[in-house]
Structure formats: C-alpha cells, structure tokens
Amino acid sequence: MQERYEHAAIEADAQAWWDGRRVFAATEDRSRPKYYCLSMFPYPSGRLHMGHVRNYTIGDVLARFMRMQGRNVLQPMGWDAFGLPAENAAMANGVPPARWTYDNIAYMKRQLKSLGLAIDWDREVTTCSPDYYRWNQWLFLRMLETGVAYKKTGVVNWDPVDQTVLANEQVIDGRGWRTGALVEKREIPMYYLRITQYADELLAALATLPGWPERVRTMQANWIGKSVGVRFGFPYELGGERRVLNVFTTRADTIMGVTFCAVAAEHPLAAHAARGNPALAAFIEECKQGTAMEAELAQQEKKGMPTGLFVTHPLTQQPVPVWVGNYVLMGYGEGAVMGVPAHDERDFHFARTYGLPIRQVIQKAGQSFADDAWQPWYGDVEGTTCIHSGKYDGLGHEQAVAAIAADLKVLGVGDTQVQWRLRDWGISRQRYWGCPIPIVHCAGCGDVPVPDDQLPVVLPDNLVPDGSGNPLGKTPAFVDCACPSCGKPARRETDTMDTFVDSSWYFLRYASADNARAAVDDRADYWLPVDQYIGGIEHAILHLLYSRFWTRVMRDLGLVKVDEPFQNLLTQGMVLNDIYFRKPATGRIVYFNPTEVEIKTDAAGQQAAFLKSDGAPVESGGIGTMSKSKNNGVDPQLLVEQFGADTARLFMMFAAPPEQSLEWSDQGVQGAYRFIRRLWKAVYEHVAAGAVPGTATMDALTGEQRTLRRQVHQTLVKVTDDLGRRRVFNTAVAAVMELMNALDKFTDTTAPGRWLRQEALEKVVLMLSPIVPHICHALWRELGHEGALIDERWPERDASALAQESVEIVLQVNGKLRGRIVVPVGASEADVKEAALADPAVMRWVEGKPIRKVIVVPGKLVNVVA
RNA sequence: GCCCCAGUGGCGGAACGGUAGACGCGUCAGACUCAAAAUCUGAUAUCUGCAAGGGUGUGGGGGUUCGAGUCCCUCCUGGGGCACCA
C-alpha cells in the first residue's frame, strides 16, 4: 500500500472502475424494493456552483446508503436548459443560446462526473432538446382538449423603448434594466393552466406528505390560500339598468360597518366611471403604470379616488360610495372589496387618508374603540361581538357570519363561498429560448392546435436575440406556415412556455427517457413516486406546487398512476460566502471574489480586506448567498483539483446540517482534507504492520478492548440512524471522527487488539463510503478484500458488543447539576433513588430542606426537588 | 407589506423537553526540525477561587414544566418566497 494519499489517482481509478462496469445503470428489477433518489436538475449556467455540489452530494450520500441497504436505486440527472440567462449571454457575446447552452452542458457534465456521483447517465434529459420538449407540446395539446389549458388576457411588464416584455428580474426600481425606461403594465392574450381546478386536492393532499418539511407544507397551504367567506352584491343602477357590484369577504360580521366600496383600477365599473371624468381616468392610468409584482404593489402607498358612483347596502339600503383603490387586486376575488375601516387595517388607513366615516360594529370586552389610531384588536375575530348592527347585536364572529350569510341568501344577493388565493398558471412567455407553444393563428379558423403528427414544433437554434422583442417574430421561416385546418397561409404562435413547465415533469421522463413514442411508459409506474427529492428551499412553493399539479393532470390523462410525485423532500440550505466590493464615486458597485481578496491584520488587531492585485482596500459586504451578482462564488473545479472530490464532499457534509445554510470556509476544507489523510494513514499503518491473525474470542477481551469495540458498534448505530432516519450527515461524520480519535489512542498490538483494529477500520470505511466513496473504494481493497466496496452491504451492529454493565446517572437538585453516580444497568428505580439521596453532594444541597419530590429518569438522571 | 425559517464560545456547529458547547476550525503552549511547513500532544464559554468548588450564560422580555437552547406569547435582527430568475 502506498504511504501517500494521492487523491487524483485514487479518484480517477475509482471512477474508471464504476464507469467501466456501469454499476449505476438502473434497471426495473421488480424483485427488489426500488429507491428513486432525485436531485433538482441544474440550469446549465456555465459552471457548477457550490449549491449544486451540496445538493448532489446529499443526494449521492442517500443513494449510496440506500444501495448498501439493498434497495434498487435510480439516481438520474439532466438539464433545465431553457431560460433567460442563455438569451442574456447571447446578447452579451453574440452567440446563439443553443450553442452557449450545449457548451455549458458539456462542461458541467465533466464537472459532475469528477464528483464521483452515482448517477445513471443513460437517462439524461435535456429540456431544450426536441426529444424532450415535443412532449411538453403534446401534453399542452391534451390539456387544451380537456380544458385544463385555456386562453385569456394577462398583465405583463412592458418596456416601451425596447418594445418588449420584461421579466420581473429585468425590472429594476420600476425601470427597464437595459433602457432605463419606466415600465408599464400591459394586458396581452396568454395561455393559462387551470391549476385552481386542483386547488382543493393540492391543499388536502398536503396531509398525505409527512415526509415533507412542515414549513414547506405550510408555505404551500398559505399559497393556495383557501378562505371561506361570503360573496354578495351591492345593487346599483346604471343608465336605467339594474346591476350588482359583487364583493367577497371573510368578515361578513362587519357588514354593518361598511362605509365605502373599493374596486381595482381594471374593474369595469372604474372604466365606466372614468368616462367623462378625466381626473379619474388619469388616476386609473397611473394605477396601470408601474410594476406587476406583488411585492412592490403591497408596499406602495395606498391611494384612491372616488368614482362618483354609489351602490346600495343590501341590508341597510343606505347609499355607499364607490372608490377606485390601488390596493385592490383585479386578480383576486371579484376585483372589488367592501370597505370596513373600523375593522380592517388597510381600510382604516384608507378611510383616514380620504376622510371617509369609520363606524365601529365589533366590540371586545375590556377594550375601547377610538377612530384616531388603529389597534390590533379591531381586526380580531375571537372574543368579539357585534354592536350597532341591529338584529345582529350580541352575536359572535361565527354566528354573525352565518346569520348575515343566511339573510343575504334569502334576499337573493349573496351566499357563502370558498375563495382561493391561488391563481391559474400563465405559461405564455414572449421569449425565444423556450418551448414553442404549438398553436397556429389562422385568419379563417382562429387558433388552431398543431396536429400531433406535426410535432414537435422545432425551435430554430441559430437565432441571437437583441433585446427588442422575441426574435421568433422576426423569423419568417418560423412564423409563416400553413393552417393545419384549411391549408391557407397562417401565422405560428411565437410565445414559448414558462420554463417551470419543463421542470414540472422531468422526473417522470427519466423513467422513460429513451421512449421516442410516448412521454412516459409503464416504467414510470415502477419508479414513481420519487422516494427522496432534494433541492433548494427557494423552490418550496412554485416548482413543487406546479409539479404536484402537473403530475395530477397526467394522472387524469391516464398517463401515470401516482397522485403525488415526491414522497420525501429535503430542502437544502443555501451556500454562503463573504462579500467584498468597491463603490466608485460614479458608476456601479464592483464586487470582488473572496479569492482575489487578502485579509490583513494591522498592529492594532484590526482586520481589513485588500485586493491582491493592487493592494488597495476593499469594503466588506458581510456574508450572503453565493451568486454571480455578488461575485462571491467558489468554483468547485479548483477545489476538486486541489483537494479532490472526497474532500469537497466531506466538507459539504460536515460543515452544517443539510437543511441549514452553509458558510464557506477555506479552513474548513483544510480540516476535511486533514481528516481524509489521517484516515489513509491509519489504514496504511495498520496494513504495514502485517497480516491480522485469525479471529478473536469476544469473551476473552480486556476491559479496554471491550470499550473500543463498544464504541465501534455505538458509532455504527448512530451513523445508521443519522443517515437513515434523521438525514443529518454532519453528526454522522463527527461520530466517525470521534471513533478515529479513540482508535488513535488504542495502541494495543496484541492479536485481539489488531483484530479489533481491523474490524474498526472496516466499519469506518463502510460507514464513510456514501460520503467519501473514492478513498473508501481504495481502502477497502487495501484492507484485504477481493470484492469491490460498491457491492458491499451496510454493516449490522453486534448487540453483544453494545452490552454494558453499569451506567452513569446525573444527579440534580432543583434542576441543577450537583453530581454523578454509577449504577448497574437495570438497577431498580428505588435503588437509584436511594443511591442518589445518599450521595454526599445531594445531601449537602438538600440539607435542612424537606424533600418534596424525586424524579427518576431511568438510565439518565435523578432530580431531587427540595 | 404578506407568508415561512433561523439566531448557542473567537468561528462552523452539537444537544431528538433531562449533563449546554460533541466534532471541526482558529488561537495558545509543548514535541519533532538548523529553521519553516507538515505532523503529533495538551489547553481553550465567562466570572470568582490556591484548589475543591461556586456564580453566570443559548438575540431581548414574559410564561408553561420537577427540569427549557428545545414548548407557548411578544419584540429585535438576519435569511428564503411573493406567481416572467431558476
């Protein structure tokens, strides 16, 4: 055995061994329980970043661990290859997005391979390939047929200078990122998927996902946002015609406190009132300007303007003024709300601003109402009763809502209704680098779906966008076509699909990746659902919800049998690093990569950062997610070259639990490397000492030998639990490190001692193999095994090694630690209590006080309450 | 603004209501070396004490419990998401 640990040779050798025997190619072996281990596929941005390394190492550890547990493991990989960055790169470099993307994929695939991941590359999926996206198109057409897909108008960010639609990301402070022009909202026709039709099921089924983090389920439930309330109408007359203004409210109990109604700027009533009212028309225009982003809308100043119209309160018959409010969303409910300033905070501030009356109709015991300042209890529903509400006075929230809903129903103006926050999913994007929507617009026949036998509608791969609109629209070879229905010249749809479509079913395609005739086949029934899905917390809502929806749509089309695609979910935390920058007097902030920066400590002990290239200081921007924009990423390539994939993997697993954010640390990497070299050295020295004699008889072991063997098996129990049940890896690594520390101190060179060392090292190599597979592959051979480690099973614990004769008990007096005693295992509670009370330290602390209570936790502690 | 999560030594973190700080990093001391690096050994929350020991301590405040870093309420700070970044 070689004395030096040489990661490059060891890793190349192990990877060649796995590749040469195709050990990770998965087949549908029905005799074994399957394990589908899936990591979120990467966007091919150019190079792998640390977030990827973390994500894929977690997946790989679980995949390899489950393989050792006897499961038939599938771990596939692919590319989320459509998207905006390719268009941005094209604009910057003049290279077509297709070439940029495929070059990136080739490079990143080499990087992934160098990490030694147990991936079945035969199932690789690339979403920008026609082999994949033709099925997006095919599935979209099925959704059109079943009514899941439909067309309506939607709001987009419009850059009036570039004449193009902007992504939210491209809008900075309300202006276009390239032109600096004020962004406008614009309504255009788009295709939508009826996810709201599945809202009930998507919400209810969260209860069937105990393997998901509670917080993700909560976020999804809030996103779907089911609320039960009352929908009712305020009657009014317009041009001699009787109409109603419908609103939805969860607070029908406050209906007697209505002093105004507010409608969205896009509401028909607003448009009507604006005719002949230039000031109102201007206000409505102003509301329609600006952002379409919820985060910005929610923070802008609440503004409104009266329409001059009045509606009638359905219960009091009083006239109620109608306002236009910029805080009313057309997309939610009816696009109109009843205004109850006394009991809704937004309405309160609105009413205060515009001098509208505030009428208290809810009271709470011990609280007094004043209309000059908002108090949180005004919005309470518990412990409140109605006042100033006529026949409803004295009723609680629920009773009042029920009574008022019933009365509105009798009047024929309202009823209880379930309202969802969830909106239908708009999938049209006015962009080039995406999956073409398979529709042809014909002057005679209208919107005609492309027939299945003409799929895929192939995206031309040689265009270079210039930022002014979708280049597809300027490409006659793409746009001009014959109508599939009448054959006359027609125009092809130039919108492409949201890239979330691509990622909503790729995990199904992996199971049937080579099928050119169908999107999925019965192999999907074998592999699905995904047993373990691993990805960033930033996908907690959208991607995961869309995937759950899409899977159900495919189920209802008879294509798959599962309801839920992902049985267990692990949301890994972000990878963070230091941020350094300079802010020139004019121009934009310049960020420097931490590798370009040197930290110096001056005479006074103050630390300061300097740029290596010019020696001048840079400012510290704290710590943040590794990102291109902050230029604080670390290239995994350099790490792998310098220290090897095993070190990179070990550091990632050891530095933090998987769900927490992870701070990058060069010194932490050094520590991981040091441990790997220690492991190598321990095996080297053991092997160099010659062959291990026979076997040892357990009952002949000395106390010290028994202690070591117990620790070996205790570590095995802990690591098995951490990897299997708890899914935390940092503590598993720590336990093995402790064992290695103990092994260092175990200098016994007798025959049983050497035998124990052999056993300990074998267990360590097996336990660490999911995390650092390359070095373990090599060490397993060196420890004298003919077969390869990849074919080994996870070791079993030896119960006899774990047996103990005595156990330490912690003694507390009034909850404070005061001493310890050692008692025999299985000592009775009474004996332990007696021993505890007889302990000198306990006696000293309870002296003179009557003992009120003694709590005994068997095998752990005694707490004396005095 | 709304929804979700996290705050523990100099740092990353451990503690699955029961010994706070495992393990690693860093620092300090020692060994080896002409020297340095590497490696190895030991110490390392804080205050008090010669020591044994004792006090304090898990972002702030309050609560539940024999016992709270852990559960509940509230506030502060940081992070993620908010529907066209992926």
Phi, psi dihedral angles at A808 (to 5 degrees): -90, 135
- Output the six-digit token pair for A493: 């749809």
pLDDT tens profile A636-670: 888 999 999 999 999 999 999 999 988 888 889 99
Rounded distance, CA A763 to CA A357, Å? 77
Per-residue model confidence as pLDDT tens digits over A68-97: 999 999 999 999 999 999 999 999 999 999
- Of A229, A227, A228, A235, nearest to A411 by C-alpha is A235
Output the pLDDT for position A605.
Answer: 47
Torsion of CA A368, A372, A377, A378, to 10 degrees: 100
Residue A604 pLDDT > 50? no
Residue A695, pLDDT above cutoff 60: yes
According to the model, what pLDDT value does residue A608 have?
67
The answer to whether residue A578 scores a pLDDT higher than 90 is no
Residue A709: pLDDT band by 50, 70, 90 thresholds?
Answer: very high
Q: Is A438 exposed, middle or buried (0-12, 13-18, 19+ CB in 10 A)?
A: buried
Residue A196 in contact with residue A422, Cβ under 8 Å?
A: yes
What is the distance in angstroms measured between the alpha-carbon CA of A677 and the sugar C1' of B34? 28
Lowest mean pLDDT among A126-130, A273-277, A738-742: A273-277
Contact present, A449 and A430 (Cβ < 8 Å)? no
Query: Which of A24-28, A99-103, A127-131, A750-754 is predicted least confidently?
Result: A750-754
Tell me how far apart the alpha carbons of residues A519 and A515 are, in angstroms, rounded to a whole number: 7
Task: Report the nearest residue to nucleotide B6, CA vs C1'.
Answer: A660
CA distance A565 to A532: 10
Q: State how far the alpha carbon of A246 is from the alpha carbons of A233, A319, A366, A413, in Å.
A: 4, 15, 36, 9
Q: Does the structure show a pLDDT above 90 at A60?
A: yes
The residues near A708 (Cβ < 8 Å, ≥ 6 apart) are A742, A743, A746, A756, A760
Is residue A514 within 8 A of residue A552, CB to CB? The reply is no
Distance in Å from B53's C1' to A349's CA comes to 62
Mean of pLDDT values over A125-141: 97
Q: Which residues of A570-595 are buried (b: 16+ CB within 10 A; e: fewer)?
A: bbbbbbbbbbbbeeeeeeeeebbbbe
Token pair belonging to A330: 């057309």
Distance CA A15, CA A59 (A): 18
Mean pLDDT of A736-761: 93
- Whether A837 shows a pLDDT value over 60: the answer reads yes
**Nucleotide closest to residue A41 (CA–C1'):** B86
Question: Straight-line distance from CA A734 to C1' B22, in Å?
Answer: 8
- The C1' atom of B43 and the CA atom of A668 lie apart, in whole Å, by 21
Report the pLDDT averaged over residues A524-550.
Answer: 95
pLDDT digits (tens, 9 = 90+) for A545-562: 999 999 999 999 999 999
Distance A519 CA to B52 C1' (A): 76
Residue A537: which nucleotide is closest by CA–C1'? B80
Chain-centroid distance of CA A230 in Å reads 34
In 3D space, the residue among A163, A156, A142, A166 whose CA is nearest the CA of residue A190 turns out to be: A156
Q: pLDDT exceeding 70 applies to what percent of chain A?
A: 99
Peptide bond into A529 cis (omega under 30): yes
- C-alpha A643/C-alpha A350 separation (Å) is 61
> Phi then psi for A845, rounded to 5 degrees?
-80, -25
Band the pLDDT of A246: cuts 50, 70, 90. Answer: very high
C-alpha to C-alpha distance for A602 and A607, rounded to whole angstroms:
6
| Residue-level pLDDT at A373 | 80
Whether the CB-CB separation of A61 and A53 falls below 8 Å is answered with: no
Cis peptide before A456 (omega within 30 of 0): yes
Identify the residue whose Cα has the smallest distance to the C1' of B86: A43
Three-state SS at A55: helix
Q: Kindly report the average pLDDT of chain A as a whole number.
A: 92
Helix (H, G, I), strand (E, B) or coil at A825: coil
Structure tokens at A496: 């492409």
Q: What's the CA gap between A437 and A457, in Å, rounded?
A: 8
pLDDT at A65 over 90: yes
Paired sense of beta strands A304-312 and A184-193, if any: unpaired
Higher-pLDDT residue of A572 and A604 is A572
pLDDT of residue A609: 73
DSSP codes joined into one string, A199-244: HHHHHHGGGG-TTS-HHHHHHHHHHH-EEEEEEEEEEEEETTEEEE
- Tell me how far apart the alpha carbons of residues A508 and A561 are, in angstroms, rounded to a whole number: 11
Q: How far is the CA of A812 from the C1' of B64 (A)?
A: 20
Å separating the CA of residue A776 from the C1' of nucleotide B30: 34
| Number of other residues whose CB lies within 10 A of the CB of residue A394 | 12
Assessment of whether the complete model's pTM goes beyond 0.95? no
**pLDDT digits over A796-818, tens only?**
999 999 988 889 999 999 999 99
Phi first, then psi: what are they for A28, rounded to 5°? -80, 75
Q: What pLDDT score was predicted for residue A606?
A: 52
Where on strand B do bases come within 7 A of a protein Cβ? Answer: 1-6, 11-16, 18-20, 22-26, 38-41, 54-55, 66-68, 79-86
Q: From the alpha carbon of A346, which nucleotide's C1' atom is closest?
A: B1
